[in-house]
Amino acid sequence: DPKIIQKPKYLVAVTGSEKILICEQYLGHNAMYWYRQSAKKPLEFMFSYSYQKLMDNQTASSRFQPQSSKKNHLDLQITALKPDDSATYFCASSQDRGNEQYFGPGTRLTVL
Amino acid sequence: AQSVTQPDARVTVSEGASLQLRCKYSYSGTPYLFWYVQYPRQGLQLLLKYYSGDPVVQGVNGFEAEFSKSNSSFHLRKASVHWSDSAVYFCVLNTGYQNFYFGKGTSLTVIP
């Protein structure tokens, strides 16, 4: 059974629109993260949350907003989409300090 | 500042040959170190981890890594590679809490 679910798997959007990427983890972890990976850039850290509180934000643009409605959820809202936002977005989770992260399968976003 | 360097962006080896992927980290404290593998169009999967103790740690699929505090390194090795090992390998440093630092990855191609 998948431990980290990301929905949808593929997403196509038009420039200027808004999308929400879903992430749910069933590992009982208290920390969750978002990463972005594109052809132009290697794996890029975006956000980290712990106990539903924002711990670190390395995303310059306010168009990216994480949303944590439950401890095991960390969705990513992206507004005013641009073609440069096209990438695969990975959600991850970990438990406490020093423990390894577990990654979801990713959502592949294409902005036309 | 903390960082991880993987000096080789691409490595090509023949099937059956031995492999070493290099990783250097920068951190003055006690590091937690990981190697992840990413197969095409998939998320990252944990290969192995080092917290403390024996500097040589064993991972899945015959991989091992050796931690060296004096060299600030955590190199990944495999005695005999298989074509299915072709993937991108990431070295990751955790400095505690939710602070993870990723290398840029090394793309491994195994020639049959």
Show which of residues 41-100 on chain B sit within 8 Å of chain A, judged by CB atoms: 42-46, 49, 51, 90, 92, 94, 96-100
- Model pLDDT, residue B1: 84
- Model pLDDT, residue A99: 81
| Tens place of pLDDT per residue across chain A (112 aa) | 679 999 999 999 999 999 999 999 999 999 999 999 998 777 888 999 988 888 888 887 999 999 998 889 999 999 999 999 999 999 999 987 568 899 999 999 999 9
Cα dihedral across residues A85, A91, A96, A100: positive or negative: negative
Residue matched to tokens 């080092």: B50
Higher pLDDT, A98 or B64: B64
Residue closest to A102 by CA, chosen among A41, A29, A7 = A29
Cα dihedral across residues A80, A82, A84, A85: positive or negative: positive
Residue closest to B6 by CA, chosen among B104, B110, B107 = B104
CB contact under 8 A, B97 and A50: yes
Residue type, position B43, single letter: G
